[in-house]
């Protein structure tokens, strides 16, 4: 384990990484944001979920440096008197958790299906890829909306609000698996023809062993790239759903929910309610995208 | 003097400092002359051609030196001026005709475009000229084929189109970079003839870059031998081939398999060391005798046919089937080597893979060590195939890049004996690495840390791991340089002698087959057209196709 | 040729049937259409009669066939929440969405393709770096955030442009267009900009990637070696080969624009199909959701069909016979 780690550190990938200012910069920013959001309970001055601590008299305060700002609330407050700094950190945390979990779920499903589809071929392959084709005809956001819509009809309002976070994870995962499946499948198709797979078959290994031990490790590179870019995408989809009022309820606000709330006050000039969560969303997804973009170029320029 | 290259030095900056691809290369080329540039991979021979035409791959650059074309210095010339020279003064022919042409335009369009560029003529005149060119490179019905797209031409015909494109601007110098490597033997010699005719008739000087001594022997007037970025020897082709002066040239030429006579072992090559000497005595100690019923015939194939479905039927209609192998039969006596030769697509690799169990035969029977593989349950067939292993063609894809070498070799042992045998398997793996000359410490490394020849040794170690006594070698050396090939073939011969291995040796290379095999099957389009003792086949081939193959094979000396 | 068209048509029909099956299962298994259609005071007997009348007691395959035959005629029933035939709703809303999407698509292509080519050819130039960095910002900004920023700047701070609705529209034979009035045109600016920016970034990156791939191929190198000039190399040889894969993905993107317009429509309260759909999800209005799904699927299938035919016309490897 230790040896393969030091091996990894000497690889060209790591070398190129340390030489690329953009890659290092974006990775650092993304990690800082992740750390800040995970430490939200420690870092933020207020618990935005605790409705008792909110004071409606302190609502819609501008950031501390504007006239009328309160030094207690560095980035101002929203319509319920919530501290925007705390709300943004907590919102970021929820967005990130949803992003990571939905990426993990679609990765698991997509990689498995892609592996099976590519290796076994035939009817199984046709079936899986047809479903993927049909689904690919629709943008991810639409798939997520429909899955969410279906749950809205199935569950009553209160239950849906409680299960909202799981529904969203499921909705985003449902919209994302196809990309993994297609990427893995095309990699498997090219790996499958390679002679090391034939060698494994001649040794006598069965299909499951060959897929898991031989092919899977060789297709994980592109999957990693897709997953990195997908995290940014998943967070954007979550924010979009919440912004459309179809995501998380205002009681557990994600970034999208915060932006939606702020949007109602945009015309009265209370820009900070929208802009700070919006900026957090943008900076995070930009840094992840920058890193993912670099990773893709470094690992395989052919991937899109 | 047409082209004069002096002290050409090309460098590539990289992570590990500057890499010198060419070091003080000095060459000359006369009009109408073919200069062969020969060397093994990494010798820098392609770099010379690219430098002359000004298309060095980035980030390479000419550090110092001169390239003079009829008195004009080419090095350091700005790109717009080089652009004017390309095609008009210097032409180039690439290796792979399949990818050298724009797939979306007709052949005629591409010719006319080039002709109009260099001759500044009308489209009408260009068309006439283009059809002339096509005829002169041997494309029949040129007027009709003018409007065809590249995909409508065969590989050999495409290479003719590529040649027409390269010479239609009347260049003084042509650089041909492995122009026949991607082609079958039968096409290869016609293309070489064409290239020679062009040089003689048009007074064009040609630099022919190749790794193949046979190609050099056939067409080159003079040869320059390259080794690690340097020209080690230049001279008349005949002199270099018969009386090489430099030690490297000597070992290179002695490593080339000879088609004219069978020799026991390749002469020891001292100049290039790829691995240590094999330790065979230790191998014998752990060798197990083949299990099950014994017979003198190790492998027997009876009327085997293999089919592939090219178009699956969905309803009613019959599936379209391609017969890759048509009822072939042969026996391989224990401890001997059977060769299968044929051009690409003849079905020789399909036979290997069917015997190995990767494809299922449509008809026929395969018997290994007296036990049927085809008339057995899947499970039994799998068990019986434990005596069979395979060595593959491509050293870069035949080892799993994510596994350590030790794991790769130990895998078949672990699979047969279970996890409990872990320690034993690892020890065996280290031993085997010693035996094939890599040293036990190699086990801790990953495949990419080894050269092509060393990887093939790892493949051999894997094939030996479970004590298999029948080994299929599918073009095991065709991706390797000749010197490495010689070492590897020697190793295979030694192993066979020590362990009494039976080999099925698939190859397209007749000289290699002559050196390695006791009997040979010649294949064409899925059928064995001739089956013969090797010496007899080479002495007096019976079938017309065998005669043709033998006549066409490039010979070192004529 | 005919075989190919039939093949693609069959494929399209299969896709549409698959989508219809999903849509149908939403109708059949999710929620209860009866309770959405009648008031609280309807008796059990009346409900049962209605159920029988609507054929909801028939076997599912029968219901599916009925659903299909209605769908083919554009009949998706009554909207649960608005109590109006769904077809009327969409007929009224479709022009708004199509005008918005098509204009955005045109802008995205007209700007995106040249910029993509530029960045592929001049790989290290300053403008390329600038275009690529800003396109990455574009990818990282969610559509709705772009819209909000545009509203904040041009609507709230500068007060130059309207920020919601279509402005005045003119009816031309059942098609309401905002292209003929100045307020209609002014209303289009921000939504079109929002939708264009997002698609633009994708198209730039796509064209660049494909073109760089083509520029790496052997035939480009061989063309260079026989003296073909830079310009001809880039615009005659590389560009045509780049366009093959680009057409495919641009086709997909056009479909995406129509679907993505639902976000833009929500931000700008643009009275199109997307806004209708988002509201329908909030209200669990199944017939509207189903109709939207089917319309989008139909548009996608049609675009794909056109893309396939274009490929066939442009790529000689598909329409001329193989090697001799």
Across the interface, whether the CB atoms of B388 and A217 are under 8 A apart is answered no
What crossing angle do the helices spanning A84-120 and A122-136 adopt, rounded to 10°? 150
Residue C244, number of CB atoms within 10 A of its CB: 17
- Give me the phi and psi of B419, to 5 degrees please: -60, -30
**Cα B323–B328–B333 angle (5° rounding)?**
150
User: What pairing do the DSSP bridges indicate for beta strands B363-368 and B297-311?
Assistant: antiparallel
Which tokens in the block code for residue A250?
């205002």
Q: Nearest-CA distance from B444 to chain A in Å?
A: 10
Mutate to test the interface with C, among B51, B82, B103, B174 (most CBs of C within 10 A): B103
* Element at B79 (helix H, strand E): helix B79-85
Which residues of chain C does B118 touch, with a Cβ-Cβ cutoff of 8 Å? 227
* Predicted confidence (pLDDT) at residue B25 exceeds the cutoff of 90: yes
Residue among B45, B52, B133 at smallest CA distance from B95: B45
Is position C43 within any domain? no
Omega before B59 cis (within 30°)?
Answer: yes
How many separate domains does chain C show?
1
Residue B536 in contact with partner chain C when CB distance is under 8 A: no
Average pLDDT over residues C23-35: 75
Q: Which chains touch A (3 or more CB pairs under 8 A)?
A: B, C
What crossing angle do the helices spanning A157-192 and A84-120 adopt, rounded to 10°? 40
Closest alpha carbon within chain B to A3? B444
Is position C279 within any domain? no
HSE-CB at B212 with a 13 A cutoff on CA atoms is: 24
Q: Which of residues 26-65 of B touch C (CB under 8 A)?
A: 53, 55
Across the interface, whether the CB atoms of A199 and B390 are under 8 A apart is answered yes
* Predicted confidence (pLDDT) at residue B277 exceeds the cutoff of 80: no
Average pLDDT over residues B272-293: 59
Is position C62 within any domain? no
Which residues of chain A does B392 touch, with a Cβ-Cβ cutoff of 8 Å? 195, 198-199
Is position A114 within any domain? yes
Q: Nearest-CA distance from C226 to chain A in Å?
A: 27
Q: Which residues contact residue C311 at a Cβ distance below 8 angstroms, ignoring those fewer than 6 apart?
A: C244, C247, C248, C318
Q: What is the pLDDT of residues B332-355, one digit of tens each?
A: 999 999 999 988 888 899 999 999
Which residues of chain A does B398 touch, with a Cβ-Cβ cutoff of 8 Å? 194-196, 198-199
Query: Given this model, what pLDDT does residue A37 score?
Result: 86
For C264-282, b/e burial (b = at least 16 CB within 10 A) is bbbbbebbbbbbbbbbbbe
Residue B260, number of CB atoms within 10 A of its CB: 10
Query: Please, what are the averages of pLDDT over each run of 10 residues along chain A (304 residues)?
Result: 62 79 88 88 76 70 72 73 82 91 95 93 87 80 85 79 87 90 91 90 90 90 88 90 84 84 78 85 90 80 44
Query: Given this model, what pLDDT does residue C117 score?
Result: 92
Which residues of chain B does C228 touch, with a Cβ-Cβ cutoff of 8 Å? 87, 113-114, 117
Domain that holds residue A122: 98-304
Residue B170 in contact with partner chain C when CB distance is under 8 A: no
Residue C234 in contact with partner chain B when CB distance is under 8 A: no
Domain that holds residue B190: 3-254
Q: What is the pLDDT of residues C132-189, one digit of tens each?
A: 888 888 888 888 888 888 888 888 888 888 878 888 888 887 788 878 888 888 889 9
B interface residues, A as partner, C-beta within 8 Å: 15, 353, 356-358, 382, 385-386, 388-390, 392-394, 397-403, 411-412, 415-416, 444, 446, 459, 462
Q: Are B2 and B69 in contact (CB under 8 A)?
A: yes
Which tokens in the block code for residue C199?
């698609």
Average pLDDT over residues B212-226: 91
Q: Are residues B247 and B148 in the same domain?
A: yes
Dihedral angle computed from the Cα positions of residues A60, A66, A70 and A72, in that order, rounded to the nearest 10 degrees? 100
- What single string gives the DSSP state of each residue in B289-315? PPPSS--SEEEEEEEEEEEEEEE---S
Residue B101 in contact with partner chain C when CB distance is under 8 A: yes
Which residues of chain A does C282 touch, with a Cβ-Cβ cutoff of 8 Å? 152, 245-246
Query: Given this model, what pLDDT does residue B166 score?
Result: 92
Is position A190 within any domain? yes
Is position B300 within any domain? no
- What is the spatial distance between Cα B236 and Cα C124, in angstroms, rounded to a whole number? 47
Is position C205 within any domain? yes
Which residues of chain B does A214 touch, with a Cβ-Cβ cutoff of 8 Å? 400
Q: What is the pLDDT of residues B322-335, one digit of tens each?
A: 888 999 999 999 99
Q: Are B101 and B108 in contact (CB under 8 A)?
A: no
CATH number of the domain within which A231 lies:
1.10.3720.10
Which tokens in the block code for residue B405?
């070498």
CATH number of the domain within which C239 lies:
1.10.3720.10
Size of interface A-B (CB pairs under 8 A): 58
- What is the spatial distance between Cα B166 and Cα B114, in angstroms, rounded to a whole number? 9
User: Which residue intervals of A69-215 are DSSP H helices?
Assistant: 84-120, 122-136, 140-154, 157-192, 195-203, 207-209
Query: Given this model, what pLDDT does residue B189 score?
Result: 86
Q: Nearest-CA distance from C232 to chain B in Å?
A: 10
Q: What is the pLDDT of residues B44-78, one digit of tens each?
A: 899 999 999 998 888 889 999 999 999 889 998 89
Residue among C72, C58, C50, C71 at smallest CA distance from C28: C58
How many separate domains does chain B show?
2
- What is the spatial distance between Cα B359 and Cα B179, in angstroms, rounded to a whole number? 34
* Predicted confidence (pLDDT) at residue B95 exceeds the cutoff of 70: yes
Residue among B212, B215, B202 at smallest CA distance from B174: B202
Is position A68 within any domain? no
Which tokens in the block code for residue B218?
């056939």
Which one is predicted more confidently, A215 or C38? A215
Mutate to test the interface with A, among C8, C145, C190, C293 (most CBs of A within 10 A): C145
Mean pLDDT, chain C, as a whole number? 85
- What is the spatial distance between Cα B328 and Cα B507, in angstroms, rounded to a whole number? 17
CATH number of the domain within which B388 lies:
3.40.50.300
Is position B299 within any domain? no
Reported confidence tier of residue C70, pLDDT bands at 50, 70, 90: confident
Which tokens in the block code for residue B98?
């399949």
Residue B231, beta-bridge partner list? B226
Whole-prediction pTM = 0.83
Residue among B10, B194, B172, B182 at smallest CA distance from B88: B172
Q: Pick from B398, B402, B416: which is nearest to A199 by CB?
A: B398
Is position C161 within any domain? yes
Which residues of chain C does A269 touch, with a Cβ-Cβ cutoff of 8 Å? 156
How many separate domains does chain A show?
1
Q: Which chains touch C (3 or more CB pairs under 8 A)?
A: A, B
Across the interface, whether the CB atoms of C142 and A145 are under 8 A apart is answered no
Is position C196 within any domain? yes
Average pLDDT over residues B506-532: 92
Query: Given this model, what pLDDT does residue B268 score?
Result: 63
Across the interface, whether the CB atoms of A259 and C263 are under 8 A apart is answered no
Across the interface, whether the CB atoms of A202 and B388 are under 8 A apart is answered yes
Average pLDDT over residues C277-298: 87
Closest alpha carbon within chain A to B465? A203
Across the interface, whether the CB atoms of C316 and B165 are under 8 A apart is answered no
Is position B233 within any domain? yes
Which residues of chain B does A199 touch, with a Cβ-Cβ cutoff of 8 Å? 390, 392, 398-399, 459, 462
**Cα A76–A81–A84 angle (5° rounding)?**
40
* Predicted confidence (pLDDT) at residue C323 exceeds the cutoff of 60: no
Rg (C-alpha) for chain C, rounded Å, is: 24
Query: Given this model, what pLDDT does residue A304 score?
Result: 42
Is position A57 within any domain? no
Average pLDDT over residues B509-537: 92
Query: Given this model, what pLDDT does residue C324 score?
Result: 37
Is position A35 within any domain? no
User: Which residue intervals of chain C are DSSP H helices?
Assistant: 2-29, 33-37, 44-53, 60-72, 86-121, 126-140, 143-150, 182-215, 218-225, 230-232, 239-268, 273-282, 286-314, 316-319
Is position C312 within any domain? no
Is position A45 within any domain? no
Q: Give me the sign of the Cα torsion angle C177, C182, C187, C189.
A: positive
Percent of chain B with pLDDT over 90: 47
Across the interface, whether the CB atoms of B151 and C316 are under 8 A apart is answered yes
Residue C167 in contact with partner chain A when CB distance is under 8 A: no
Is position C55 within any domain? no
Q: What is the pLDDT of residues B381-414, one digit of tens each?
A: 888 888 899 999 988 889 998 889 999 999 999 9
Q: Are A83 and A69 in contact (CB under 8 A)?
A: no
Query: Given this model, what pLDDT does residue A303 score?
Result: 43
* Predicted confidence (pLDDT) at residue B558 exceeds the cutoff of 50: no
Which one is predicted more confidently, C264 or B440? C264
Q: Pick from C145, C260, C297: which is nearest to A139 by CB?
A: C260
What is the spatial order of strands in the sheet that B470-474 belongs to? B388-391, B470-474, B502-507, B337-341, B519-524, B527-533
Across the interface, whether the CB atoms of A267 and C284 are under 8 A apart is answered no
């Amino acid at each position: 384990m230790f040896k393969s780690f030091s091996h990894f550190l000497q690889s060209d990938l790591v070398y190129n990484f340390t030489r690329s200012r953009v890659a290092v910069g974006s990775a650092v920013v993304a990690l800082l944001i992740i750390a800040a959001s995970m430490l939200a309970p420690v870092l933020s001055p207020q618990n935005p979920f605790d409705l008792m601590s909110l004071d409606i008299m302190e609502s819609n305060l501008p950031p501390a440096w504007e006239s009328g700002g309160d030094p207690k609330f560095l980035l101002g407050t929203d319509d319920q008197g919530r501290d925007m700094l705390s709300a943004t950190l907590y919102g970021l945390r929820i967005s990130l958790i949803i992003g990571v979990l939905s990426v993990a779920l679609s990765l698991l499903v997509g990689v498995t299906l892609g592996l099976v589809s590519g290796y076994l071929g035939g009817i199984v392959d046709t079936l899986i890829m047809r479903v993927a084709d049909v689904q690919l005809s629709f943008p991810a956001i639409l798939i997520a909306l429909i899955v969410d819509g279906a749950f809205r009809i199935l569950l009553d309002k209160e239950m849906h609000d409680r299960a909202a976070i799981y529904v969203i994870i499921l909705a985003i995962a449902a919209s994302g698996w196809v990309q993994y499946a297609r990427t893995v499948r095309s990699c498997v198709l090219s790996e499958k023809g390679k002679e090391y797979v034939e060698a494994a078959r001649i040794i006598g290994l069965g299909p499951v062993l060959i897929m898991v031990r031989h092919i899977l490790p060789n297709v994980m590179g592109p999957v990693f790239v897709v997953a990195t870019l997908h995290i940014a995408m998943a967070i954007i989809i979550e924010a979009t759903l919440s912004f459309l009022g179809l995501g998380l309820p205002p009681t557990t606000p994600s970034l999208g929910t915060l932006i939606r709330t702020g949007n109602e006050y945009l015309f009265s000039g209370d820009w900070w309610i929208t802009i700070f969560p919006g900026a957090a969303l943008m900076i995070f997804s930009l840094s992840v995208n920058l890193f993912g973009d670099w990773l893709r170029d470094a690992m395989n320029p052919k991937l899109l | 003097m047409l082209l004069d290259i002096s002290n050409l030095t090309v460098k590539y900056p990289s992570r590990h400092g500057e890499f010198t691809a060419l070091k003080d290369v000095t060459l000359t080329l006369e009009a109408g002359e073919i200069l062969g540039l020969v060397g093994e991979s990494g010798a820098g021979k392609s770099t010379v051609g690219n430098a002359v035409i000004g298309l060095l791959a980035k980030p390479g650059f000419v550090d110092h030196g001169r390239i003079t074309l009829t008195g004009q210095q080419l090095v350091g010339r700005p790109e717009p001026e080089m652009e004017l020279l390309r095609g008009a003064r210097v032409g180039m022919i690439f290796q792979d005709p399949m990818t050298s042409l724009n797939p979306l335009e007709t052949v005629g369009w591409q010719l006319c475009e080039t002709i109009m560029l260099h001759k500044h003529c009308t489209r009408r005149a260009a068309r006439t000229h283009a059809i002339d060119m096509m005829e002169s490179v041997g494309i029949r019905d040129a007027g009709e084929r003018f409007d065809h797209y590249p995909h409508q031409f065969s590989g050999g015909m495409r290479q003719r189109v590529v040649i027409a494109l390269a010479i239609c601007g009347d260049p003084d110098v042509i650089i041909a970079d492995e122009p026949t490597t991607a082609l079958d033997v039968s096409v290869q010699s016609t293309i070489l003839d064409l290239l020679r005719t062009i040089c003689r008739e048009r007074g064009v000087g040609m630099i022919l870059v190749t790794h193949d001594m046979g190609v050099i022997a056939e067409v080159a007037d003079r040869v320059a031998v390259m080794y690690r970025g340097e020209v080690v020897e230049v001279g008349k082709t005949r002199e270099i081939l018969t009386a090489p002066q430099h030690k490297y040239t000597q070992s290179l030429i002695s490593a080339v398999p000879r088609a004219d006579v069978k020799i026991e072992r390749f002469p020891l090559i001292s100049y290039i060391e790829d691995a240590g000497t094999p330790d065979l005595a230790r191998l014998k100690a752990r060798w197990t005798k083949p299990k099950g019923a014994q017979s003198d015939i190790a492998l027997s194939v009876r009327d085997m046919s293999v089919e592939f479905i090219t178009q699956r039927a969905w309803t009613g209609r019959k599936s379209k089937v391609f017969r890759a192998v048509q009822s072939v039969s042969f026996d391989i006596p224990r401890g001997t080597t059977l060769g299968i030769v044929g051009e690409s697509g003849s079905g020789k690799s399909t036979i290997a893979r069917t015997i190995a169990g990767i494809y299922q035969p449509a008809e026929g029977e395969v018997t290994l060590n007296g036990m049927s593989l085809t008339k057995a349950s899947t499970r039994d067939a799998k068990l019986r195939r434990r005596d069979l292993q395979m060595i593959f063609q491509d050293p870069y894809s035949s080892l799993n890049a994510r596994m350590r070498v030790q794991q790769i070799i130990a895998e078949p042992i672990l699979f047969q004996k279970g996890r409990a045998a872990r320690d034993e398997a690892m020890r065996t793996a280290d031993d085997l690495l010693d035996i094939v000359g890599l040293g036990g410490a190699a086990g801790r490394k990953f495949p990419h840390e080894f050269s092509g020849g060393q990887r093939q040794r790892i493949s051999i170690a894997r094939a030996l791991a479970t004590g298999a006594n029948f080994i299929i070698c599918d073009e095991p050396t065709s991706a390797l340089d000749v010197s490495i090939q010689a070492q590897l073939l020697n190793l295979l011969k030694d192993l066979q002698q020590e362990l009494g291995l039976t080999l099925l040796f698939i190859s397209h290379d007749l000289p290699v087959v002559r050196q390695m095999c006791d009997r040979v099957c010649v294949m064409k389009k899925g059928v064995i057209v001739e089956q013969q003792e090797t010496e007899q086949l080479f002495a007096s081939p019976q079938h017309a196709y065998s005669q043709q193959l033998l006549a066409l094979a490039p010979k070192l000396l004529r | 040729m005919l075989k190919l068209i039939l093949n693609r048509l069959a494929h399209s029909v299969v896709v549409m049937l698959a989508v219809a099956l999903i849509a149908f299962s939403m109708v059949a298994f999710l929620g209860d259409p009866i309770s959405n259609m009648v008031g609280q005071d309807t008796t059990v007997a009346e409900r049962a009669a209605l159920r029988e009348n609507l054929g909801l007691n028939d076997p599912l395959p029968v219901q599916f066939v009925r659903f299909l035959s209605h769908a083919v005629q554009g009949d998706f029933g009554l909207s649960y929440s608005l109590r109006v035939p769904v077809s009327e709703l969409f007929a009224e809303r479709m022009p708004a969405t199509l005008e918005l999407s098509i204009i955005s698509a045109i802008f995205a292509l007209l700007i995106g393709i040249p910029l993509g080519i530029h960045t592929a050819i001049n790989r290290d130039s300053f403008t390329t770096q600038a275009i690529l960095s800003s396109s990455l910002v574009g990818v990282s900004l969610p559509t709705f955030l772009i819209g909000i920023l545009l509203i904040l700047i041009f609507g709230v701070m500068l007060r130059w442009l309207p920020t919601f609705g279509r402005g005045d529209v003119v009816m031309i034979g059942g098609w309401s267009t905002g292209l003929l009035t100045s307020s209609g045109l002014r209303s289009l600016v921000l939504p079109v900009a929002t939708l264009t920016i997002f698609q633009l970034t994708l198209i730039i990156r796509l064209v660049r990637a494909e073109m760089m791939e083509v520029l790496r191929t052997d035939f480009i190198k061989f063309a260079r070696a026989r003296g073909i000039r830079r310009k001809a190399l880039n615009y005659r040889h590389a560009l045509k080969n780049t366009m093959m894969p680009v057409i495919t993905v641009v086709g997909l993107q056009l479909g995406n624009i129509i679907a993505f317009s639902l976000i833009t429509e929500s931000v700008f309260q643009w009275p199109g199909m997307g806004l209708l759909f988002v509201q329908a999800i909030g209200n669990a209005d199944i017939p509207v959701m189903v109709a939207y799904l089917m319309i989008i699927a139909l548009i996608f299938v049609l675009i794909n069909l056109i893309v396939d035919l274009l490929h066939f016309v442009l790529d000689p490897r598909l329409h001329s016979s193989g090697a001799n």
